[in-house]
Chain A
Amino acid sequence: MADHRNHRGISSKRLSALLVLVLAFVCVLPGIMVRADEVVPAAKGVYVYDDAGLLTGTEESSLSQYLEACGQEAGCGIYVVTTSDPGTRTGDRYLEDFYDRGFDTGQIDTDAVLLYVDMKERYVNVQAYGKAQDKIPDTTCDAIIDAIFDDLHYGDYYDAFRGFADKAEYYMNYVPIYLRVWVQLLAALVIGGICVGIMAANSGGTMTVNANTYLDQRYSGIRARRDDYIRTSVKRRKKPQQSSSSGGGGSHRSSGGHSHSSAGRKF
């Protein structure tokens, strides 16, 4: 009887221990998952996610304001995301998930340019989504990294992030020279001037005789000709590396199905 009771006592002890363990696990697990796997933009209007702690408090707040201002000028969200523990996510994956989650929860601008710095792998990645993808294709992502690469490499993170915001805004607002209003206006005026000039010049009658008018075919022709081959020279030039998403067609796609442009490299 006692044995039986004893047995039951032990078994309930073990049970409660198991329960505690399960409870603890259930409680802790989401925390672990969020830290390691679930990358979530905290809220709309937050542009700096400095998990790696690369910035001081004042730097972070001033950068945040700067990103917001640049983003307003550019007409899209400009984000800086850093981490020192990317977990199992390598390469572009971290930022893609960041955007997917933000998109699902509505905590991120759907038109967005994002900079990601992974301090563990020393890997930098720039991605552009939505409207920004057309303005900032892969090659431009690469150009942005070029511009901030030195600052990143030498650890001037604050400058690098500001530089990133500047470049993102610049490319978002960039209008090719031939599409600018004043250039087109000037071109239109020049074309108009040339047309009227030709009209005025032709108003007095035009020359209608040419080199063949007076040529007498009966007495004219080739008396002798040679077309001797001498030599061949061949110049080889390496094919320029074609950008994979030149048309913005979205060769990159996040697991959430969002097409985007991207460039990344070690720094």
Chain B
Amino acid sequence: MVVQYKCPGCGADMHYDAKTRKLKCGSCGRLMEIDAMPRSSADAGTEAEDSEDGEISPFAAEEIEDEAEFGRIEREEGSTAFDGEDGCQYVCNNCGAVVVTTADTTATSCSFCGAPVVLGDRLSGKKAPVWIIPFKVNKEQAKAAFRKWCGGGKLTPRDFMTADRIKNITGMYVPFWLYDMEGTGEADCTATRVRTYTQGDYICTETKYYHVYRRLHMAYCKVPVDASEKMNDGMMDKLEPFGYGELTRFNMPYLAGYLAEQYNYDDRELLPRVTERVKRYANEYLASTITGYSTVAYNRKNIQLDPVNARYTLLPVWMVCYDYRDSEHIFAMNGQTGKIVGKPPLSKQKIAMWFAGISAGVFAVMRLVTMFLA
């Protein structure tokens, strides 16, 4: 089921505007509160069709009869590409064109007329996100920030910095699971305090042994794990942190004008990943409570963490494709904070320059110190 948001004034398509945090009409600039929009997608569609203001109202797909019929591509046995619910076609309410989607798409735009399209049925039931952080950085800001970031790279090639070669920039809501984990950490250690002092002609090393025990209760809230198959986990991890103050109840209009995907891995499948990560944090936390000792040796350590909540959340990411010397570089920007990650091309010349410069500088200082000592 396709959801499109129509301007009540002019009937044109509306999209989510990061600046005003409202739905904005692309043609007349009208703004609509998100909360004022109907939650049900069916309403949104009919509302648009009902507009009677003398202007040409777009055709609905049903209004125009087919001129010819075409056979369908045979589905091969065992093909999984368009299985199940993904088999259904989405048709643009504006122009009647088939909306090109992948199995994971939940929001996109009509490739024919450009109208924002939200696929409502893929965002309901089990696949309904709980929260969303709406985009805060808009496309122009993202482009400008990215250009600035490229210029700041000490090792990026000069022509990469100056050229404006952003191939495409896509605002995308990436599916994450936000886990709440809670549990106990327990440690039993033998710790020492070492003190050295002189006594007459002797240097004494005094070692005091302690039996140390700690039991902690710990809670980790909203630990994000990227649930999209496509996204590079390392890259997504580096995009953190997101400001959770702006977590909002999910509502479909936020997706209008952006790409969005549904999760590929559910909360159970990603549990090992989040557990491993939180255990690492828990270990550090446990160790940080044992202070004031010279050495700490663990006799027993036990960390038990259980998931309490997992919430399907959409987080905003700008994906930037950049063409440089016939190869494509992909960068991601936190759509809320503007933090950029990704591997920029490295200039061999600049690397050599920095390497030579730093080495020569260090060597010169060493020689100077040597001469001073001699």
Which of A191, A220, A221, A224 has the largest count of B CB atoms less than 10 A from its CB? Answer: A220
Give Cα A221–Cα B219 distance, bound, in whole angstroms. 9
Among B67-75, B165-173, B261-269, B354-362, the stretch in contact with A: B354-362
Among A70-78, A149-157, A206-214, the stretch in contact with B: A206-214
Among B37-45, B139-147, B337-345, the stretch in contact with A: B337-345
Contacts A215-B281, A219-B182; A206 near B218 (Cβ below 8 A): no
Interface residue tally for chain A (C-beta within 8 Å): 49
Main secondary structure of the interface of A (DSSP, over half): mixed
Question: Is B351's CB under 8 angstroms from A200's CB?
Answer: yes
Q: What class of interface size applies to chain B in its complex with A?
A: 35 or more
Cβ-based interface call for B366 (8 A) = yes
Contacts A185-B363, A192-B362, A239-B201; A224 near B208 (Cβ below 8 A): no
Question: Is B204's CB under 8 angstroms from A219's CB?
Answer: no
B-chain residues with CB within 8 Å of residue A239 when the two chains form the complex = 198, 201-203
Question: Is A191's CB under 8 angstroms from B359's CB?
Answer: yes
Cβ-based interface call for B210 (8 A) = yes
Question: Is B237's CB under 8 angstroms from A235's CB?
Answer: no
B-chain residues with CB within 8 Å of residue A184 when the two chains form the complex = 363, 366-367, 370
A-chain residues with CB within 8 Å of residue B222 when the two chains form the complex = 214
B191: min CB distance to chain A, Å: 8
Question: Is B355's CB under 8 angstroms from A220's CB?
Answer: no
Cβ-based interface call for B248 (8 A) = no
Which positions 262-284 of chain B face chain A at CB distance < 8 Å? 278, 280-281, 284
A residues adjacent to B (C-beta < 8 A): 179, 181, 184-185, 187-189, 191-193, 195-196, 199-200, 203-209, 211-216, 218-239
What 9 additional pairs, Cβ within 8 angstroms, besides A215-B220, A230-B209? A187-B366, A188-B363, A191-B359, A193-B359, A195-B355, A206-B238, A212-B281, A222-B216, A224-B213
Provide a sorted-by-A list of 30 A–B residue pairs whose CB atoms are within 8 angstroms: A179-B373, A179-B374, A184-B367, A187-B366, A191-B358, A192-B356, A192-B362, A193-B359, A196-B155, A196-B351, A204-B342, A205-B339, A206-B238, A211-B288, A212-B285, A213-B240, A213-B241, A214-B223, A216-B221, A219-B182, A219-B219, A220-B217, A220-B218, A220-B219, A220-B285, A223-B184, A223-B215, A224-B214, A235-B204, A239-B202
Q: Which 6 A/B pairs are nearest by Cβ-Cβ distance?
A: A205-B341, A192-B359, A219-B219, A188-B363, A211-B284, A192-B358
